[in-house]
Amino acid sequence: MKKYILIITIIMSVLFVQCRDNDEDPDQEQFKVNVFKDIATAEQQVNNMYMTTNNNLQNAEGELSGKSLTAESCATITINPFDYTTFPKTIIVDYGTSNCLCEDGNYRRGKLNITITGWLKDSGAVYTTIPENYYVNNQLVQGQHIITNLGRDANQHWTYKVDADANITVTNGIIHHTVHRNNSWIAGDSTLINKLDDEWLVSGNGSGTTTDDTPYTYNIVTPLLVKGNCQWITAGILQVNCSGITVNIDFGNGECDGISIVSYNGQNYTIQ
């Protein structure tokens, strides 16, 4: 789910250089770049929380059911009660007090307190994650992240509602970021061990404020297609609104090519 963050960061940096008015104040130009950088940072951290919660739920279920799943080497996982069938259940993921390089390339420290009412394929189950002194790449992540299993949709795909309200502390302030979206697991749900065959359709919206209290909103106009074997979003349209600026980002038609079309101020820009 986090794979489109790098794209957003690159797009926003390149876009505001390409479409810059020669008479525009350089300070205003830098303000625009900083605003979208904050949005990208917040989105990265919230999506990172989704994937980390998802992975640790699979690890916990694997430990209790005897499946061959590999737990994150950085973390100590405590499960209470320590059985497969009793719920609600608390899972504490402790990364320690010093930065530890995790398998996804991120440095973490602190704890994740996860309360669950069922496993990932239990319809109606709710998974609530609350971080405790939790840092990712030295950014303090606070707030609440709630995933609700909506069961299978009309196409028989597992669908999860995601609601997050997070504060991310960076070097120059605090970013507030909220998320409301549905994630549909459209491929790979039968092979939990192999995450490379996973495919997700992501829809929804969100809002927040940047480190200088600038408000923003964003909306997924066409569901984003995220594939486990591709570092890019491969399809879908995302719209971002901030400081009087509206940007549409079209991620393509399903190919893993890293090409996006950005529409801004009546102009289209190809980012590759």
The tens digit of pLDDT for each residue in 120-137 reads 899 999 999 999 999 999
What domain range is 59 assigned to?
Answer: 2-191+204-209
Give the tens place of pLDDT for each residue, 213-263. 989 998 999 998 888 777 677 888 888 888 788 888 888 888 888 777 878
Residue 272 located in a structural domain: no
Residue 218 within a domain: no
Give Dmax (Cα) for the chain.
Answer: 66
What's the pLDDT at 43? 77
H or E segment at 6?
helix 5-18
Residue among 261, 207, 180 nearest 38 (CA): 207
Question: Cα(220)–Cα(239) distance, rounded to whole angstroms?
Answer: 6
More confident residue, 167 or 239: 167
Residue 216 contacts residue 245 (beta carbons within 8 Å): no
pLDDT at 137: 93
> Is 93 inside a domain boundary?
yes
Structural domain count of the chain: 1
Average pLDDT, stretch 54-69? Answer: 79
Question: What pLDDT does 18 receive?
Answer: 44
At 174-184, the pLDDT tens digits run 999 999 999 99
Which amino acid, residue 230?
Answer: C
Which pLDDT band, with edges at 50, 70 and 90, does 24 fall under?
Answer: low
Residue 156 lies in a domain: yes
Query: 267 in a domain, yes or no?
Result: no
Residues near 17 by beta carbon (within 8 Å), at least 6 away in sequence: none
Q: What tokens appear for 227 in the block? A: 């594939």
Distance CA 214, CA 35 (A): 8
Structural domain includes residue 68: yes
In a domain, 244, yes or no: no
Query: Which of 114, 150, 108 lies closest to 130, judged by CA?
Result: 114
Query: Given this model, what pLDDT does residue 260 score?
Result: 77
In the predicted model, is pLDDT for residue 149 greater than 70?
A: yes
Residue 223 lies in a domain: no
Tell me the C-alpha distance between 225 and 256, whole Å.
10
